[in-house]
Amino acid sequence: MRIGSISQGKNKCDGCGATIRYAERYLIVKEKGGVENENGVIRHYCVRCAAEKKYVQTRTEKGERIVTFFKEIEKPVITKSEEELSEEKEARERSLKKSVNAEDEGGRTGKNE
């Protein structure tokens, strides 16, 4: 769990110990033994400490540097894997061949009769 919040000027950073200034962004994260852990204790970090602890991601978008506390949200995988696709293709080809063969045989038996 990571929550980005705006300081009311009351919270102290658990990293550097400084008071997080009013209106400054800070991070709320649960940690155990210094690493992110859902069963840990709630810690507050100023942006600088959050960055030091690698909780901050920066990326450049349209020439602007964007700082985010959150992990990139991974898009749900909607495309099928290569393996699945090739399996499907094979199955399709197999059924196609089968139906062609069936027609051939049917045609032949038709002639013979």
Instruction: State in angstroms the smallest separation of the CB of 78 from Zn ion.
Output: 40
Task: Name which position in 3, 6, 16, 102 contacts Zn ion (CB under 5 A).
Answer: 16
**Site track 34-63 with Zn ion (rule: CB under 5 A), x = hit:** ------------x--x--------------
For the chain, give the secondary structure using H, E and C: CEEEEECCCCCECCCCCCECCCCCEEEEEEEECCEECCCCEEEEEEHHHHHHCCCCEEEEECCEEEEECCCCCCCCCCCCCHHHHHHHHHHHHHHHHHHHHHHHHHHHHHHHC
Q: By rule CB under 5 A, what count of residues binds Zn ion? A: 5
Q: CB-wise, 15 or 40, nearer to Zn ion?
A: 15
Task: Based on the shown chain and the rule CB under 5 A, indicate whether residue 27 belongs to the binding site for Zn ion.
Answer: no
Q: CB-wise, 16 or 91, nearer to Zn ion?
A: 16
**Residues in the site for Zn ion, rule: CB under 5 A?**
13, 15-16, 46, 49
